[in-house]
A and B are shown apart, each in its own frame.
Chain A
Amino acid sequence: MSREEILSQVLEMVAMSYKKDVSELSETTSFKTDLNGASVQMVALVSEIENELDVALMLADASACETIADLVTLIEEEM
């Protein structure tokens, strides 16, 4: 799967988990400053990624990602 394909799916999943419109999101969106999410939303996101992209992620690693681009890179590394 290419990075673009992963990004496109991750953007959809972030939008769903954080209840945002996908058009508001991009690679540079910051989890902390832009999404202001709680850990419960990150749990939902990691679960979705594991289900849909068939990859195992550590919640701690995902939570350490600053931006959506960082998360996509982490997924690429784990695939």
Chain B
Amino acid sequence: MSVIDRIFEKAKTNPQRVAFPEALNEKMMQAAYEAGSEGCIIPILVGNEDEIKKAISERGYKEDVFRIVDVNNEDYKVSLIEKYTALPETRLKEKALRRRMEDKLQYAMVMQAVDEADVTFAGIDYTTEDVLLAGQMIIGMKEGLATISSIGLCDIPGYEGSEGSLLAIGDSAVCTNPNSEQLASIAIAACDTVKSLLDWEPRCACVSYSTLGSGQGELIDKVTEAVRIANELRPDLAIDGEFQLDAAINPAVAEKKVKRESKVAGKANVVIWPDLNVGNVAVKLIQQFGHADAYGPMLQGFRKVVCDCSRSAPVSELKGNIIISAVRAAGEKCR
């Protein structure tokens, strides 16, 4: 069974409520319908009720697969505003919030913030920037983290790592040039993400062109400082480095190059790149030469699971990412 099939099966054991603010989009509705009718999620379509019902009927879907939230229902809107403004971490007051809720994306996120939904999934019409900014305004960032970031999950044919053919990598999509503090946040968030999604015990390597001081310079200092900060903030997590990639994931190389105890060296299941130049090139290398399937990017660092997708994503990819985000949300509730 492939990793994505395993994730689909896991989703069915505890289906989460996923809010779709781009409900009318044909591809998004189809992906929501497929994921909902297979029992992986409970899809909530957020928008104008009449328009949504008309589209469901025209497209030949069964209406009872969906829950529909009508953004014009004033009573429901008022109840959301009351609950949201009562949250301790809330900054927006009623009038400002009401104005922001005119936007369906932010409306859906308010639902999520007050536990009327478990995930907000968007990005087919909205841009990544829209999703990231709305997430920061409405959901907010996780306590103690310095940046929003992302990880991807690679399934690499022929790779025999500590999790078989799977390797989690980050950040290859969001945080362009993290400082040490931000890099530490990316590593910490990545550990939490793989734990909630895959039940892995994370072993996270911060990689560089040097292994434990074999090279020197400010590019390496940034990584070693990030490891120090991450270990100080979360001593419960196995985050180590700086390692070269081979020393991080290959036990034979680690034995030669890492001359001290490490829970991570040679058996890392999470690899953190020093910046987005490396991250983006690396993921393309893994895809092009390793012929890997790469799932994600999974956004991390928000208080709750917010998911963005590519605007050109086909339905199958949308469905996969919707279900991944639902499993993450279920996993975060258990933590």
Question: Are A47's CB and B136's CB within 8 A?
Answer: no
Cβ of B55 within 8 Å of any chain A Cβ, yes or no, is no
Within A19-78, the residues touching B (CB, 8 Å) are: 38-40, 43-44, 46-48, 50-51, 54, 56, 58-60
**B residues contacting the other copy or chain, number (CB 8 A):** 16
Choose one: A40, A51, A54, A58; the contact of B136 (CB below 8 Å).
Answer: A40
CB pair B129 A60 closer than 8 Å: yes
A47 and B133 form a contact (CB under 8 A)? no
Q: Which of B91, B93, B146 has the most C-beta atoms of chain A within 10 angstroms of its own C-beta?
A: B91
A39 CB to nearest B CB, Å: 6
Chain B, residue nearest A47 (CB): B91
Q: Tell me what chain A mostly uses at the interface: helix, strand, loop, or mixed.
A: helix
Which residues of B from 75 to 119 have beta carbons under 8 Å from A? 91-93, 95-96, 99-100
Contact partner, A59, options B93, B99, B137, Cβ 8 Å: B137
Q: Report chain A residues within 8 Å CB of B148.
A: 39
Q: Is B278 an interface residue (CB 8 A)?
A: no
Beta-carbon contacts under 8 Å, B264-279 to A: none
Inter-chain contact B91/A48, CB cutoff 8 Å = yes
Residues on A with C-beta less than 8 A from B140 are 40, 43
Chain B, residues 125-143, CB within 8 Å of chain A (1/0): the string is: 0000100010011001100
- For residues 134 through 187 of chain B, which have their beta carbon under 8 Å from a beta carbon of chain A? 136-137, 140-141, 146-148
Contacts of A47 in B (CB 8 A): 91-92, 96, 137
B99:A43 contact, CB within 8 angstroms = no
Alpha-carbon gap, A59 to B91, bound state (A): 14
Which residue in B93, B100, B129, B137 is a CB contact (below 8 Å) of A43? B137
Given contacts A40-B141, A43-B91, contact A56 B133 (CB under 8 A): no
Q: How far is the CA of A47 from the CA of B100 in the complex (A)?
A: 11
Whether the pair A39, B136 counts as a contact (CB closer than 8 A) is yes
- B99: nearest residue on chain A (CB-CB)? A56
Chain B residues with Cβ below 8 Å from A46 are 137
Residues of B within 8 A of A (CB): 91-93, 95-96, 99-100, 129, 133, 136-137, 140-141, 146-148
Closest 9 CB pairs between A and B?
A47-B91, A50-B96, A59-B133, A51-B93, A43-B136, A51-B96, A47-B92, A56-B99, A40-B141
Beyond A39-B148, A47-B92: 16 further Cβ-contacts under 8 Å?
A: A38-B146, A38-B147, A39-B147, A40-B136, A40-B141, A43-B91, A44-B91, A46-B137, A47-B91, A47-B137, A48-B91, A51-B91, A51-B92, A56-B96, A56-B99, A59-B137
